[in-house]
A and B are shown apart, each in its own frame.
Chain A
Amino acid sequence: MSDFTSSFWPIFITVISVGGVIGCALLLWLTSKIKATSPNGDNTNGHVWDETLREMNNPLPRWWVWMFIITIVFSLFYFAAYPAIGSYAGKLGWTQVKQYEQEMEAANKTIAPLYAKFAAMPVEELATNPEAKAIGERIFMNNCAQCHGSDAHGSRGFPNLADKDWIYGGDPAKIAETLTNGRVGMMPPMAAAVGTEDDVKNVAHYVLSLSNSDHDATRAVAGKEKFAVCAACHGADGTGNQSMGAPNLADNIWLHGAGEEAIIKRINEGKVNQMPAQGTKFSPEQIHVLTAYVWGLSNNEAK
Chain B
Amino acid sequence: MSSTKNSNVANGASNATNEAMIINLYAAADKIYPRSTFGLFTKWRWVMIWLTQLVFYGIPWLEWGQRQALLFDLEARRFYIFNLVLYPQDLIYLTGILIISALSLFLFTAIAGRLWCGYTCPQTVYTEIFLWIEAKIEGDRAARMKLDDAPMSVKKLLKKGGKHFAWIAFALWTGFTFVGYFSPIRDLGSAVVNLGLGPWETFWIGFYGFATYGNAGFMREQVCKYMCPYARFQSAMFDDDTLIVTYDEKRGEPRGKASLKADMDKSKQGACIDCSLCVQVCPTGIDIRKGLQYECIGCGACADVCDTVMDKMGYERGLVKYSTQHAMNMGWDRSQMLRRILRPRVLIYTAILGAIVVALFTSLLMRDSFRVDVVRDRGVMARLADGGMLENVYRLQIMNATETMQRYELSASGIDKLKVESDVADVNKAVTVNSAESRWIPVRLQIPDGSVKSGSHPVEFKVRAVESNELVTEKSVFLVPR
Contact = CB atoms under 8 A, between A and B. Distances in A.
Interface residues of A, number: 41
A38 B13 contact: yes
A62 B383 CA distance: 72
B15 interface: yes
A38 B9 CA distance: 14
Contacts of A43: 9-11, 13
B214 to A, nearest CB: 11
B24 A33 contact: yes
A34 B23 CA distance: 6
A31 B17 CA distance: 22
B379 A146 contact: yes
A42 interface: yes
Contacts of B19: 37
Interface string A20-62: 0000000000011111111111110000000000000111111
A147 B380 CA distance: 7
Nearest to B383: A155
B422 interface: yes
B384 A258 contact: yes
B153 interface: no
Contact of B17 (A41, A155, A158): A41
A150 B18 contact: no
B379 A149 contact: yes
Contacts of A153: 383, 385, 393, 444
B10 A37 contact: no
B442 A60 contact: no
A152 B13 CA distance: 83
The interface centre, meaning the residue of B14, B23, B25 with most chain A CB atoms within 10 A of its CB, is B25
B423 A39 contact: no
B181 interface: no
B379 A39 contact: no
Contacts of A303: 423
The interface centre, meaning the residue of A38, A141, A297 with most chain B CB atoms within 10 A of its CB, is A38
A59 B379 contact: no
The interface centre, meaning the residue of B222, B385, B423 with most chain A CB atoms within 10 A of its CB, is B423
Contacts of B444: 151, 153
Contact of B20 (A37, A40, A145): A37
B366 interface: no
B21 A36 contact: yes
A155 B380 contact: yes
Contacts, number: 118
A40 B13 CA distance: 9
Contacts of B13: 38, 41-43
A60 B26 contact: yes
B22 A34 contact: yes
A77 interface: no
B383 A150 contact: no
A32 B8 CA distance: 16
Interface in A135-156: 137, 141, 145-147, 149-156
A137 B226 CA distance: 54
Interface string B359-396: 00000000000000000011111011100000001110
Contacts of A60: 25-27, 226
B16 interface: yes
B377 A145 contact: yes
Nearest to A254: B384
Given A150-B395, A150-B440, A33 B22 contact: yes
Contacts of A74: none
A61 B23 contact: no
Contacts of A154: 380, 383
B20 A59 contact: no
A149 B23 contact: no
A151 B225 CA distance: 61
B23 A62 contact: no
Contacts of A141: 395, 440
Contacts of A80: none
Interface in A53-77: 57-65
B91 interface: no
A162 interface: yes
B23 A64 contact: no
The interface centre, meaning the residue of B13, B21, B384 with most chain A CB atoms within 10 A of its CB, is B13
B29 A62 contact: yes
Nearest to B227: A64
The interface centre, meaning the residue of A61, A146, A258 with most chain B CB atoms within 10 A of its CB, is A61
Interface in B1-59: 8-11, 13-29
Interface string B377-421: 111110111000000011100000000000000000000000000
B443 interface: yes
Given A147-B379, A151-B422, A162-B423, A61 B222 contact: yes
A21 B395 CA distance: 51
Nearest to B12: A43
A251 B24 CA distance: 91
A145 B13 CA distance: 77
A258 B28 CA distance: 86
Given A41-B15, A41-B17, A155-B380, A63 B23 contact: no
24 contacts: A31-B25, A33-B22, A34-B22, A34-B23, A37-B17, A38-B17, A41-B14, A41-B16, A43-B9, A57-B10, A58-B10, A59-B23, A60-B27, A62-B26, A62-B29, A64-B26, A137-B440, A145-B377, A149-B379, A149-B442, A150-B394, A153-B383, A156-B383, A258-B384
Give the 10 A-B CB pairs with smallest separation, nearest first.
A41-B16, A151-B442, A59-B27, A150-B442, A155-B380, A35-B20, A155-B383, A150-B395, A65-B26, A38-B13
Given A62-B28, A153-B393, A300-B423, 19 more contacts: A32-B25, A33-B22, A34-B22, A36-B21, A39-B17, A40-B16, A43-B10, A59-B10, A59-B26, A60-B25, A60-B26, A63-B29, A64-B26, A145-B377, A147-B379, A150-B442, A154-B383, A155-B383, A156-B383
